[in-house]
Amino acid sequence: MGIVPEIVRILLPMIIVGGIAVFVVFRMKHKYKKGTLGKKKSKGAQNLLDSLIPFGMMIGSAVAVLLSIIFSLSLLTSIVFGAGLGMLFGYFAYEIYSKKAESY
């Protein structure tokens, strides 16, 4: 295998996940500056809202490890993609849950 395809194979997951991370961070920064971050009335609901992105990253990493065991995938690449996609799904869950009204 040539040197250029090897470098691309190594760096491509980091570039893709880095783009996802920059997207999420800049969206959260924009929401913070506008003052539109999600707020919940109860402390438990607010803690859940604040934890959705890290939970998404942990679940994505766990799923990636399981998939790398089942299929013939590189563990490091799988963990990188799993954490990045988990961050993206956690951000979408944050957006959806922050718009939901609390019911008592």
Q: Burial, 73: exposed, middle or buried (Cβ in 10 Å; 0-12, 13-18, 19+)? A: middle
What is the tens place of the pLDDT at every residue in 61-95? 999 999 999 998 888 889 999 999 999 999 999 99
CA distances to 11, 24, 56 from 45, rounded to whole Å, are 38, 21, 16
For residue 102, name the pLDDT band (cuts at 50, 70, 90).
low
Q: What is the pTM of this model?
A: 0.85
What is the tens place of the pLDDT at every residue in 15-48? 999 999 999 999 999 999 998 888 888 899 899 9
Other CB atoms within 10 Å distance of the CB of residue 10: 12
Question: What do you get for the CA distance between the two ends of the chain, in Å?
Answer: 61
Query: Can you give the residue ranges of every domain in the chain?
Result: 3-99
